[in-house]
Structure 1
Amino acid sequence: MAQTWDTLGRVPVEIAAHLSGEDGRHGVSPLRTSTFPMSSPMTEHERRRVRLDGRHSADGAHLELPVEDILIVDDSRLQRDNLATILADETAARPAMAWSVDSLSAAVSTPPRIVLLNLLTHQSISLLHCVRQMCPTAKVIVIGVDDDDEAVVIACAEAGVAAYHLRSESLSELRNLIAKVAHGEYVCSPRISAILLRYLSTVASERRTVPGDPDLTAREMQILRMLEQGLSNRDIADQLCIAVHTVKNHVHSVLGKLGVRTRAEAAAFCRSLR
């Protein structure tokens, strides 16, 4: 029988008649209407959620996320509008959108659960840190990731992203990421995993103490030299591709280990090491 289900999830009339035994055929047990609703369309809420459904877990369970819980950060109007339209599909609800710090401040008045940030956006890493500061509970998925750009991959990891969507990956794979991250998973490809593992190994080796100073790690010594240069926390964060709050933690640790109270005193100590 060459019939298809309609877009509202209803059974075609011919199939409904056949199943119920009303087409004159005998020996077919009719189905109870309570078992299979034949003419009840999905509600707007159901349609809004089903667009992001997919079989992602090992047991094939469906994972869901309302589109209004998503924020898209992209300075290309065409791209963010297209992605918002695709995710919303035929529903009235749409994801929130931002393209700059000012628009981001307005968009997060209702905190999102998921943020999709396009790394091709101008000053994307700075926007990523702004998102993390303004929406600390939101899960960030970076999209348009070049897995050959290790510096950006690491910068995203240090900012606390939940998943990476590669430039080579599809829309269906993005839907999968959104659903998985919404349910608490952290996702990255084998290539991204390899980059992050190498980075962790490097960081671990840097934790050895540096001879000639009071137990400063290699990273803390690096920041101490930048303090001597008079750099601000923001300048240090930009040069090292780490978050400002991470720099503050390092500076606090350096001052404590040196037994000084100010950045100027720390800079003077650094000069004394020469």
Structure 2
Amino acid sequence: MSNGDSHAGFPGAVLIVDDCALYREALASALMSNGIGRVTTAWDLPSLMLALESAAFQVILFNMATGMGQRFLRAVSHVNPGVPLIAVATPEDDVEVISACAKAGVAAYHMRIDSLADLLVLIRVVALGKTWCPPQISATLLRRVSAVADTRRSPTRDSGLTTREIQVLRMLELGRSNQQIALDLSIAVHTVKNHVHNLLTKLGVNTRAEAAAAFHKLRADHGD
């Protein structure tokens, strides 16, 4: 997005939520050096709740690259749902993280390739009640919506399989390895192995090939 007047003063208060002290302190310093005079930081749930009780914020920034990002996001969306939220360092291909952001009502996404100047613009944009969704985030959300729609149309919705298990099944049918599935779905390999194990149990089969064949037959029987 355009940098615009990224160095103009910002009268509102900004809260940075990040469990990494180095990044949190560096970002706070950078924001204050660029015209944002009131910056508060939080690093865990107690400090986050204390900050929300102590002051009113115009914008809240979340580092979504850390393990606590989604948990912090859920907490704020429940406690203080009216404040504009910006997801910082958003992984563009992580469906679960992006879906969590969308569910929490994130107003804007700052990608890993975006600059400090971009973030300064976003802060001013969302403080005015506007939103910003980069094309790559929109594409990921559309894929998510499409996958959910396919699952709801599929006869496998009555088979006790989860949405993720059906996604894994589709990839097994294509002959994907655990590593390829993990990469495609942005999840860990051991998570894929757990899904495959659950699928074999639920479908009553012994091998990946049998699971793929059972899934293919199920869809064929229902004209899916």
What range is the shorter-chain TM-score in?
A: 0.5 to 0.7
Match of 1:37 in 2: none
1:126-141 alignment, distance < 5 Å: 126-141=71-86
Match of 1:54 in 2: 4
Amino acid in the other structure paired with 1:138: V
Which of 155, 160, 166 is the equivalent residue of 2:105? Answer: 160
What is the CA-CA distance between 1:91 and the residue it aligns to? 6.9
RMSD in angstroms over aligned alpha carbons?
3.0
Structure 2: runs of 5+ lacking an equivalent: 163-224
Q: Distance in 1 between matches of 2:123 and 2:36?
A: 20
Which of 183, 186, 203 is the equivalent residue of 2:128? Answer: 183
Match of 2:65 in 1: 120
Match of 1:227 in 2: none
1:27-46 alignment, distance < 5 Å: none
Q: What per-residue deviation string (whole Å, max 9, x for no partner) do you get for residues 138-172 of structure 1?
A: 11111111212222112211222111111111001
Q: What per-residue deviation string (whole Å, max 9, x for no partner) do you get for residues 62-82 of structure 1?
A: 987425x21100112222122
The 8 Å contact of residues 111 and 135 in structure 1, kept in 2 or not, is answered as no
What is the CA-CA distance between 1:178 and the residue it aligns to? 1.0
TM-score (norm. length: structure 2): 0.61
Instruction: Say if 1:105 and 1:222 are closer, same or farther in 2 by CA, change over 3 A.
Output: farther
Look up the SS of the partner of 1:66 in the other structure: strand
The 8 Å contact of residues 93 and 140 in structure 2, kept in 1 or not, is answered as no
Q: Distance in 2 between matches of 1:63 and 1:164?
A: 21
What is the CA-CA distance between 1:183 and the residue it aligns to? 1.4
Q: Distance in 2 between matches of 1:179 and 1:114?
A: 9
Instruction: Say if 1:148 and 1:207 are closer, same or farther in 2 by CA, change over 3 A.
Output: closer
Match of 2:115 in 1: 170
Which of 41, 53, 75 is the equivalent residue of 1:97? Answer: 41
What is the CA-CA distance between 1:177 and the residue it aligns to? 1.1
Q: Which has the higher contact order (CA 8 A, sep 6+)?
A: 2
Instruction: Say if 1:91 and 1:143 are closer, same or farther in 2 by CA, change over 3 A.
Output: closer
Higher helix proportion: 2
Look up the SS of the partner of 1:193 in the other structure: helix
What is the CA-CA distance between 1:83 and the residue it aligns to? 1.3
Match of 1:72 in 2: 16
The 8 Å contact of residues 145 and 167 in structure 1, kept in 2 or not, is answered as yes
Structure 1: runs of 5+ lacking an equivalent: 1-52, 57-61, 212-217, 224-274
1:245-256 alignment, distance < 5 Å: none
What is the CA-CA distance between 1:120 and the residue it aligns to? 2.7
Match of 2:25 in 1: 81
Look up the SS of the partner of 1:95 in the other structure: strand
Q: What per-residue deviation string (whole Å, max 9, x for no partner) do you get for residues 93-151 of structure 1?
A: 43111010000011112231211001133321111100111211111111111212222
Q: Distance in 2 between matches of 1:147 and 1:90?
A: 27
Instruction: Say if 1:64 and 1:90 are closer, same or farther in 2 by CA, change over 3 A.
Output: closer
Instruction: Answer with 1 or 2: which has the greater Rg.
Output: 1
The 8 Å contact of residues 73 and 98 in structure 1, kept in 2 or not, is answered as yes
Q: Distance in 2 between matches of 1:151 and 1:113?
A: 26
Q: May I ask how many residue pairs the two structures share in their alignment?
A: 158
